[in-house]
Amino acid sequence: MKFFNCLLLFLFSLNVFSSGSTGGGAGTASGQVSSNESKFEGEVSEKLKEGILNYQGGAIGISHKDWDDIVKRYVTFNKDKTSSTIDYSKVNINSLKKYTSALLSVSKANLDLKSVPFQKAYYFNLYNALTVELIVENLPLKSIKELGSGFPLFQSPWKRKFFKLFGEMSHLDRIEHVLVRSNEKLKDPLVHFAFNCASIGCPALLNKAFTEKNVEDLLQLATRNFLKDRSRNYFKDNTLYVSSIFKWYEEDFEQGLRGVNSLKDFFKMYSSSVTDNKRDKEIINSKNYKIKFTDYNWNLNDTK
Within a domain: 299 = no
Same domain, yes or no: 69 and 37: no
pLDDT category at 43 given cuts 50, 70, 90 is: very low
Percent residues over pLDDT 90 in the chain: 76
Both 211 and 89 in a single domain? yes
Question: In the prediction, which pLDDT does 191 show?
Answer: 98
Asked if 200 and 259 sit in the same domain, the reply is yes
Same domain, 197 and 285: yes
Q: pLDDT tier at 3 (50, 70, 90 boundaries)?
A: very low
Distance separating alpha carbons of residues 125 and 210, to the nearest angstrom: 6
| pLDDT at residue 259, as a whole number | 96
> CA triplet 154, 157, 158: central angle to 5 degrees?
130
Q: Please, are residues 159 and 173 in contact by the beta-carbon 8 Å criterion?
A: yes
Confidence of residue 28 (pLDDT cuts 50, 70, 90): very low
Continuous H helices in the chain: 2-13, 43-57, 65-74, 93-104, 108-112, 116-136, 172-173, 215-227, 245-248, 263-269, 271-274, 278-286
| Within-domain flag for 20 | yes
**Quick check: is 131 in a domain?**
yes
What pTM, to 2 d.p., does this model score?
Answer: 0.80
What pLDDT does 24 receive? 33
86 and 199 fall within a common domain: yes
As a whole-number percent, the residues of the chain with pLDDT over 70 amount to 78
> How confident is the prediction for the chain on average, in pLDDT?
84
- Please tell me the distance from the alpha carbon of residue 161 to that of residue 115, in angstroms, as a whole number: 28
Distances (CA, A) of 122 to 59, 63, 111, 208, 259: 14, 10, 9, 13, 25
Specify whether 132 is located in the same domain as 248: yes
Q: What are phi and psi of 90, to 5 degrees?
A: -100, -10
φ and ψ at residue 237, rounded to 5 degrees: 50, 50
In a domain, 279, yes or no: yes
Looking at 17, 36, 57, the residue that finishes a domain is 57
What is the residue range of 39's domain? 2-57
Cis previous bond, 117, omega within 30: no
List Cβ neighbours of 290 (8 Å cut-off, separation of 6 or more).
238, 239, 240
Number of domains in the chain: 2
Residue 43 and residue 108 share a domain: no
* 7 and 135 housed in the same domain: no
Same domain, 212 and 90: yes
Examine the domain organization and report whether 242 and 107 are in the same domain: yes
Identify whether residues 170 and 197 lie together within a single domain. Answer: yes
Query: Under DSSP, is residue 54 helix (H, G, I), strand (E, B) or coil?
Result: helix
pLDDT confidence of 19, banded at 50, 70, 90?
very low
Asked, for residue 302, whether it belongs to a domain, the answer is no
In a domain, 262, yes or no: yes
According to DSSP, the β-strands at 239-242 and 290-293 are parallel
Please write the tens of the pLDDT for every residue from 152-199: 555 789 999 999 999 999 999 999 999 999 999 999 999 999 999 999
Tens-digit pLDDT profile for residues 242-282 = 999 999 999 999 999 999 999 999 999 999 999 999 999 99
pLDDT tens readout for residues 70-118: 999 999 999 999 999 999 999 999 999 999 999 999 999 999 999 999 9
Rounded mean pLDDT, 220-246: 97
The reply to whether 30 and 141 lie within a common domain is: no
